[in-house]
Amino acid sequence: MKRIFFIAVFFFCVSLGFSQAEDDISFDDDLLFSESEDIVVEQSDASEYVSSKQTLKIGTSEYFIPLKFTGHFESDFGYYGTKHNQNSEDNEFKNSVYFDLANYIYFMARLDKTLSVRGTTSVKFPPKKDSIKLDELYFDYLIWDRIYITAGKKETTWGYTRLFSGENAYSLYTDTDYEKLTEEEKEQIRQTIEKQGYLYTNILSDSSDTVSGLLRIPFWTGTLSGIILYNGTSTEPEFEDISAAGSLEMTFFHTTFNIFGRKNPKPETGSTPVTVGAEAKRTVFGTDLYFQGIGKLADDHRDISKYVFTGGFYHLWDGRDPNFGLNFEFQDSYNKELEKNSCRIYLDMGLKRLGKNKDMKLGLQWQHIIKSETEDDKSGLVKFGFIKSGLFPNAEWNTGIEVRYHQIDANYENKIYMIRLGSSIQVKMDY
C-alpha cells in the first residue's frame, strides 16, 4: 500500500493520442491537446437555448421546432505492412492497402430551453456488421432550472483518468480499433482485462451499448448524479437486469473529489456485482494531478475482493510554438482472493504546430504491462506517428510505426513479436 501511494505522487502526464483504423496506423491529437475539466458526468445543455433559422413545421400547427442538422465525413486511404516474429504462424512481411469511409449525421431539435432531442447516425464502408447504425438518440429535459434529465441511447463517461479509460486503454488487447469491434469481441476483451486483474476506471464504459436514464442535481459546490442502464430487448425488464450507478462530486479548496458506485445486473449464479470507488483531482502550476481508487466487492458485499489504483498527471505547454503535451498514468491492481497484483503504465506525448507553416505534428505512445496477475509475461506496445496537413486541400498525411513486444523467457529479455508500418491520406469535412 505504501508503495502504491508513493508512486501515485509522482505521476507525470500530458496528452496525445493515436487512433488506429482497423488495420492502419494513424495518429490523433484530440486526447493530448485537449483541456481537461473537473467533470464527472457530461454536462447537459438543455438550459442553453439557441434559436435557429432552420425550422420544421408540424402539420398545420402554429408550432415550430428549431431543427439543426450537421455532419462529418472522413475517408482514409493508405498502405500498411506487418511482420511477425519467427514463432508466429504468419511470420512473412505482409503488404496491404486499405480504405475506410464514414459519414456521420448529427441532428438536434429544440422546443424551448426545457426540452431538446439529439441523435447521431453513421454510415461506414466497407460494409460490415452495424455499417449503418443509430449511434445516439436521447433527450435532455430541464425541470425548475435545477434538475437535468438525459434519457435514451447515449454514451456517458465518469471519472478523471484520461488514458486508462475508453478505447485507448484496450490497445494492448487487440490489434483492431476498439470501437470497430463487435459486441462479442468487446466482451472477450473485458474478460481478458478481468483476468489481468484490472477494472474499468470508467464504470460506465458500456453505456454506449445500453439505454440509460441520467439524473443530475447541481447544488452548492457539487453535483449529485444517478443513472440506470439496461442492455436488453425486453420492454418490461426485471430489476436484476438493470444496472444502477450514482456519484457525488464536490469541490473544496480548489480540489475536486468524487465518490461513486455501481450495481451491475445479477448473473444467473452468484451475487450481484458491485463496484465502488473514489477519486480526486487538482491543478498545480498548470498541471492536472489526479488519483483514483476503485474496488469490486466480494460476493457477500462485506469486503473488497479486487481493487485498482490509478494515478497520473497531465500538462500542456501551449504558451509558444510548438505546443508540447505529456500524459502519464500508472495503474496497480490487487486480487485479494489470489493474493496477486499486477501493474502497468501508459505514456502519451506529442508536439503540435511544427514547421514553418505550423502544420506538422509528432506523437509517441507507450503502453507496458510491468507485471501480470496470471503470468510473468511483460508485454507492451510503442507507437510513433507523424501528421502533415496542408499537403492537399482538406487532407492530412499520416505515417506511423507500431511495435508490439513481450517477454518470452526467464532472462527478462523483451522480444518483438509484431512490427507494423503504415501511411495514409485522410480526407475530412465538417458540414
pLDDT in tens, 108-152: 998 888 999 999 999 988 877 778 889 999 999 999 989 999 999
Within 13 Å of residue 155, how many CA atoms lie on the same side as its CB?
11
pLDDT per position as a tens digit, 177-187: 555 666 677 77
Query: What pLDDT score does 239 carry?
Result: 84
Q: What is the mean pLDDT of residues 301-324?
A: 90
Q: Is the pLDDT of residue 62 over 60?
A: no
H-type alpha helices, 157-196: 183-196
Phi then psi for 321, rounded to 5 degrees? Answer: -85, 140
Q: Is the pLDDT of residue 3 over 50?
A: no
CB 161 within 8 A of CB 290: yes
**Cα–Cα separations (whole angstroms), residue 23 to 44, 83, 88:** 35, 13, 18
Average pLDDT, the chain: 79
Cβ-in-10-Å burial (0-12, 13-18, 19+) of 74 comes to middle
229 vs 196 pLDDT, higher one? 229
The structural architecture, per CATH, of the domain 2-430 is Beta Barrel (2.40)
Query: What pLDDT score does 252 carry?
Result: 93
Can you tell me which residue has the cell 503540435? 352
Query: What pLDDT score does 202 carry?
Result: 87
Query: What pLDDT score does 118 carry?
Result: 95
DSSP 27: -
Ranges of each domain in the chain: 2-430
* DSSP codes, 82-117: EEE-TTSS--S-EEEEEEEEEEEEEEEEEEETTEEE
Q: How many residues appear in the chain? A: 431
The answer for residues whose C-beta is within 8 angstroms of residue 3's C-beta and 6 or more apart is: none
Report the C-alpha dihedral over residues 120, 126, 131, 132, rounded to 10 degrees. 60
20 vs 373 pLDDT, higher one? 373
Pick from 340, 339, 348, 344: nearest CA to 314: 348
Query: What pLDDT score does 424 carry?
Result: 92
CB 12 within 8 A of CB 326: yes
- d(CA 96, CA 268) in angstroms, rounded, equals 45
DSSP 254: T
Q: How confident is the model at residue 52 (pLDDT cuts 50, 70, 90)?
A: very low
pLDDT per position as a tens digit, 227-285: 999 988 888 888 888 999 999 999 999 999 999 999 988 776 666 789 999 999 999 99
pLDDT per position as a tens digit, 212-221: 999 999 998 9
Q: Which residues pair with 104 in a beta bridge?
A: 72, 122
pLDDT per position as a tens digit, 358-376: 999 999 999 988 887 666 5
Pick from 151, 277, 158: nearest CA to 215: 151
Q: Which residues pair with 73 in a beta bridge?
A: 103, 429
* pTM of the complete model beyond 0.85: no
Query: What pLDDT score does 2 carry?
Result: 40
Query: What pLDDT score does 231 carry?
Result: 87
- d(CA 388, CA 386) in angstroms, rounded, equals 7
Cβ-in-10-Å burial (0-12, 13-18, 19+) of 83 comes to middle
Q: How confident is the model at residue 426 (pLDDT cuts 50, 70, 90)?
A: very high
- d(CA 318, CA 298) in angstroms, rounded, equals 46
**Cα–Cα separations (whole angstroms), residue 311 to 1, 11, 17, 228:** 14, 6, 18, 28
